Structure 1
Amino acid sequence: MATDPARLTADLVRCPSVTPEEGGALALLESLLSGAGFRCVRVDRGGVANLLARWGEKGAVRSFGFNGHTDVVPVGDEDAWSVPPFAAEERDGVLYGRGATDMKSGVAAFAAAAVDFVQETPPGDGAILLAITGDEEGPAVDGTAALLDWMAAEGEAMSVCLVGEPTSRERLGDTVKIGRRGSLNAVFTVTGVQGHAAYPHRAKNPLPAMARLMDRLASAELDNGTEHFDPSTLAVVTIDTGNPATNVIPAACRATVNVRFNDRHTGESLSAWLRSEAAAVAETFGVGIDLRISVSGEAFLTPPGPFSDLVARAVEAETGVTPELSTSGGTSDARFVKDHCPVVEFGLVGKSMHQVDEHVPLPHIHSLKAIYARILRDFFA
Structure 2
Amino acid sequence: MGQKLHERLQESHGDEVLKAEASAKVHKFTEWALKCIGLHSRVRENKGRGNHGTIIEVQLQLSAFKTFLDLADNDLTGKDFTEAFDAACFPLTLFSNTFDQGWASGISAAAIQGLLELLVEGGADNVNQCFLEAARYGSTELVRILLQIAQRNSLDIDVDLALGFAAHYGKLDTMGCLVEEGNAVAFLGPLMRAAERGCLQVVEWFVNLGCRDMELCLALTAATSSSQVAVAAYLLPLVPKHVLAPLSVEILKAAGERSTGSLHGVDFLLRSNFLNDPAATYAVADNIAKSADEAVDAKLRSFMLEHWSEAAFSEGFASAQEHFVNFMRIMEKGESPICLRDLPLELVIAMAYLPLYRECVESGGRLLPQKLRGQLVEAAGRLEGRQLDRASQGTELLAILEHHLPCFMIQT
Normalised by the length of structure 1, the TM-score is: 0.21
Structure with higher RCO (Cα < 8 A, 6+ apart): 1
Higher helix share: 2
Higher strand share: 1
Normalised by the length of structure 2, the TM-score is: 0.20
